[in-house]
Amino acid sequence: MTDEPVTRGFVGRRRPAQSDRLPPGQYDTGRLWPVLSAEPTPAVDRDRWELTVDGAVLESHTWDWAALRALPHSTTTVDIHCVTTWSRFDTPFTGVSVETLLDVCGVATGATHVVAHSRTGYTTNLPLDDVRADRAWVVWDADGSPLTPEHGGPVRLLVPHLYFWKSAKWLTRLELLDHDEPGFWERGGYHDRGDPWREQRYQGDP
Q: Which does 200 bind (CB under 5 to 8 A by kind): ligand MTE, Mo ion, none?
A: none
Distance, CA of 81 to CA of 83 (rounded, Å): 7
CA dihedral 108, 112, 116, 122 (to 10 degrees): -130
Least Å distance between CB 44 and ligand MTE? 10
Least Å distance between CB 32 and ligand MTE? 10
Distance, CA of 91 to CA of 195 (rounded, Å): 19
Least Å distance between CB 7 and ligand MTE? 38
Binding to Mo ion by residue 177, rule CB under 5 A? no
Q: Which does 87 bind (CB under 5 to 8 A by kind): ligand MTE, Mo ion, none?
A: none
Nearer to ligand MTE, 49 or 164 (CB): 164
DSSP H helices, 92-161, are 98-105
Query: In DSSP terms, which residues pair with 77 in a beta bridge?
Result: 92
Task: Read off φ and ψ for residue 109, nearest 5 degrees.
Answer: -60, 135
Residue ranges binding ligand MTE (CB under 6 A): 33-39, 82, 118, 120, 122, 151-152, 164-165, 167-170
Least Å distance between CB 138 and ligand MTE? 13
Binding to Mo ion by residue 36, rule CB under 5 A? yes
Answer whether 22's CB lies under 8 Å from 87's CB: yes
Least Å distance between CB 82 and Mo ion? 4
Nearer to ligand MTE, 39 or 181 (CB): 39
Distance, CA of 114 to CA of 168 (rounded, Å): 12
DSSP SS3 for 131: helix
Name which of residues 110 to 169 contact Mo ion (CB under 5 A). 164-165
